[in-house]
Structure 1
Amino acid sequence: MSETFACDPSQSRGRLFPEDESAHRSCFQRDRDRIIHSSAFRRLKHKTQVFVEHEGDFYRTRLTHSIEVAQVARTISNTLGLDVDLAEAVALAHDLGHTPFGHTGEDALDALMTPYGGFDHNAQTVRIVTSLERHYAEFDGLNLTWDTLEGIAKHNGPVVGDIPYALSEYNRKHDLELHTHASAEAQVAALSDDIAYNNHDLHDGLRAGLFTEGEIRDLPMVAESYAEVDRLYPDTDPYRRRHEALRRVFGIMVVDLIDTSRQLLKDSGAQSAQDIRDLGRPVIAFSDTRFAELKEIRHFLFTRMYRAPNVMAVRERVNQALNELFPIYMADPSLLPQRWQGDVARAQGQAALARLVADYVAGMTDRFALQHHAELTGRDILDGLGETPLSRR
């Protein structure tokens, strides 16, 4: 049974374009299913987290990451008595707006779009699900419920100050109340993202040889997990030992988030989902101790993985690829696909054209961006890097 502070699909604020309800699925289940069947969701298969797609088949992609986040969100939301389907929908959608090449691509596109309002992947997700997905006869986008859109827009907290262009544009016609916190379900999705990527980046970093098990043994949560595995399974092989230890790190984070959030929800006195939004503070959180430990793990991953020389060498090249692709399309928008040409014809001014080009480039997969850069420039942007330690593993 859901708690009173959970979002109730029967009390959803509805869709921008009214639709008859399904006889078999709640509105949040329909949102989840539309996200799964979207083109943008499928493209996540070839968009990577840290590494570039050519570097191996064993590293996480945005798709596998999103599935892992959704699994964590389902577990946590179910335990806390929240609406599982809404939490899952937000979790599955949270990375749809990411560019090729991860945060490197986003930084490059944001810089290129600075004269035209900038670029933000979270706002781009809203743009995708409200406009760029064009499969339905009666509307652009997926026509998701207000509750799911709110969760996507605000899962990291209230959006105040300089609101990203793509989000501001939609919010003018469908107020998502950006100044408040999102539902508890959306907050669960946000921290499930933290749990998933911190855990799997330890896995991927070890597999890539960017650091060793000996170097992570002193990290909080990791140290206690390895100690327990060595006590219980002293003769297990190295790969099983690693998996057993890191899955315990995963478990520590999940249990701490559940225990802490359960108390925060109880202390909040919230009697409705709206009470959660109006509370002025999050109700889903780690304990202070575990949050401090998680920050230590993040710092380690930032210095040893995200800024590793091998990773940075590739990032520099793919950054160059986007910096060269964008002005090519701006100078000759006829190079955009035929189905984009109607939008090109209607675009009024450079800012509108730039937004279209950004939409197109942001939607590219790693592989597609590299291929089109090579076709349009006659150069392989990764030529000369050779086989890296990452791609051999």
Structure 2
Amino acid sequence: MIDASNKQVEKREPIKEPIKSKELERRNDELILQPWATKYSEADREVEEQEDDETYRTNYRRDRDRILYSTAFRRLQYKTQVLVNSAGDHYRTRLTHTLEVQQLAMSIADALGANRDLAEAIALGHDLGHTPFGHAVERVLNKILLSKDQGCFSHAIQSARYVEHLATHKGEQGLNLCIQVREGILKHDTDIFKSDFGENQSKQWNCSSLNPERPGGIEAQIAYWADKIAYLSHDWDDFKTSGLYDEAIKEKKDEVKELQEIMNYLTGREDNNWELRDLIRNLHENLVSYTFNTLKNSNINESRDIIKLTESNMMEHKCNLCKGKQDANKKEILLNSLVVNFEKEYRRQVLKARDLLGQIYAQSPTVARMDERAECMISEIFHKYETKVHLLPWKTQKKIEAEGNKCRVIADHIACMTDRYAYRVYDELFLSRGINYK
């Protein structure tokens, strides 16, 4: 029996004054962060700032706050996740999705000894460039711009473009975020790795300084999977509560049964009797446990070793593929090579669940009709603005005059719209035709 009275309790040294930013960063770097974490001492801004202006926040917390107080962040509350706002008050929006990603990224970073402030900033900023009405409008803007030889439209690139070019801070262009945050925002979506980062992507925004061809560090990889965990869990929840699940059971019986079996596997249950928290907990646990074992058994001495190890994994996966399949599977190769990852079979089931849920829920007739309506609305708005620039706000007209790229500026303007603002603009432009989509 242990005598608690004999234990020597180390007294916590009282602080003599508030802990300022530099000391806070030093303590984290030396006492908390593991070798694979991005250190506060590595924080790198394009434009140096007066450190005297800062008191109690780390560099990455300053970035978090600039994102948090940006107009783009506030607009997320009125941007569609899957179901439009008018479908109901309780479904996820782009903002609630972002907050769920933030919460997951921070807890995963803490568990792995990574930089939670950096992971949080990336998570909060990852969807700042998202369009109204979800991915439907992202697709239509991409199609329009490509048809006009004006490059592509990717919400991941647009998010990086927003924090570097479209937003302002202290009267200057861009938020002047640390490169580690900007890089993580760009790389939160593996779609940018589908093919080589080429001319079309560069026409949207030249991200060469963010190394778009290379994988991100550990915090960027954490934010990537936090995004995917949030997607899977809240899409399943909204699917069940929206009534679309009951409809799918009747019309897509085999697909729903397969999805239920996968979800049972992911939660460790066999009776379909599980709560959302069971799914999130198991996803979180598998990711953290498998990743920690990988980190523990790898020779990692500094944060950049995560990128090197990921690239080494990519080379190994490439060697296992036929030459012709390497380019076609570039995204898949990266996904399987990330250091932050699920156990192999568990990852396969996670991705399969996402695909199935997309087919049954995100591509259901109800959602498809919402998407079709949004695509038609935005296409008409774009072409109206393109042919009649004087209908745009004065500020946007001046940007076209200054930058000369009319189509790209119009795409920026539309991407910044909320769902309800897009409805209003459509009504103002086409009300005489007797069309009102509200």
Please give the range of the TM-score, normalised by the shorter of the 2 chains: 0.7 to 0.9
* Contact persistence 2:156–2:188 (CA under 8 A): no
Whole-Å separation in 1 of the counterparts to 2:55 and 2:308: 32
Question: Is 161-170 or 146-155 further displaced after alignment?
Answer: 161-170
Amino acid at match of 1:344: I
**Separation (CA, whole Å) in 2 of partners of 1:118 and 1:229:** 45
Which residue in 2 is equivalent to 1:126?
160
1:259-284 superposed Cα distances (whole Å, 9 cap, x missing partner):
11111222331111111122214210
Contact kept? 2:166, 2:173, Cα under 8 Å:
yes
Q: How far is the alpha carbon of 1:179 from its aligned partner?
A: 2.5
Aligned to 1:388: none
Residue identity matched to 2:416? G
Which residue in 2 is equivalent to 1:372? 425
The equivalent residue for 1:161 is 196
Aligned partner of 1:301 in structure 2 is 357
TM-superposed CA distance for 1:344, in Å, is 2.1
For structure 1, list consecutive stretches of 5 or more residues without a partner in the other structure: 231-240, 384-393
Instruction: Report if aligned partners of 1:126, 1:166 keep a CA contact under 8 Å in 2.
Output: no
The change in CA–CA distance for 1:226 and 1:257 in structure 2 (over 3 A counts) is closer
Q: Per-residue displacement from partner, 1:117-157 (whole Å, max 9, x unpaired)?
A: 121110000110011112422x2111100111111122345
- Structure 2 Cα separation of the partners of residues 167 and 44 of structure 1: 25
Question: CA offset at residue 303 of structure 1?
Answer: 1.9
Structure 1 position 150 matched with structure 2 position 150: no
In 2: Cα distance, 1:186 partner to 1:227 partner? 31
Is contact 1:69–1:192 with CA below 8 Å preserved after alignment? yes
Of 247, 260, 264, which residue of structure 2 is paired with 1:222? 264
Matched, 1:342 2:402: no
Q: Paired residue for 1:87?
A: 119
* Equivalent in the alignment of 1:41: 73
Aligned partner of 2:212 in structure 1 is 178
Residue 177 (structure 1) shift: 2.0
Change (3 A) 1:101 1:156: closer
Q: Which residue of 1 aligns with 2:252?
A: none
Alpha-carbon deviation of 1:221? 3.5
Tell me if structure 2 keeps the 8 A contact 1:67–1:92. Answer: yes
- Which structure: larger Rg? 2
CA distance in 2, matches of 1:319, 1:181: 32
What's the offset of the Cα at 1:226? 8.7
Return the TM-score normalized by structure 2. 0.78
Q: How does 1:230-309 map to 2 (within 5 A)?
A: 245-279=275-309, 280=311, 281=313, 282-309=338-365
Unaligned runs of 5+ in 2: 1-31, 250-255, 314-337
Please provide the CA RMSD for this pair: 2.2
Q: Deviations over 1:192-243 (max 9, x none)?
A: 011011001111011111114975683324367495898xxxxxxxxxx7xx
User: Offset at 1:169?
Assistant: 3.6
Preserved contact between residue 219 and residue 297 of structure 1 (Cα < 8 Å)? no
Larger RCO (CA within 8 A; separation ≥ 6): 1
- Partner residue of 1:50? 82
Q: Distance in 1 between matches of 2:267 and 2:288?
A: 19
Task: For residues 54-97 of structure 1, give each alpha carbon's deviation from its aligned partner in whole angstroms, at most 9, with x where no partner exists.
Answer: 11111100100000001000000000000001001111111111
Change (3 A) 1:136 1:165: farther
2-structure distance, mates of 1:80, 1:374: 50
Q: Distance in 1 between matches of 2:204 and 2:77?
A: 29
- CA distance in structure 2 between the partners assigned to 1:204 and 1:24 by the alignment: 39
1:119 & 1:106 partners in 2: Cα distance? 7
1:310-359 deviations in Å (ceiling 9; x for gaps) = 111121111100110001111122222222232122233xxx11110000
Instruction: Give the 3 Å change call, closer, same or farther, for CA 317–262 of structure 1 in structure 2.
Output: same
Q: What is the count of residue pairs matched by the alignment?
A: 364
How far apart are the structure 1 equivalents of 2:205 and 2:82?
A: 30
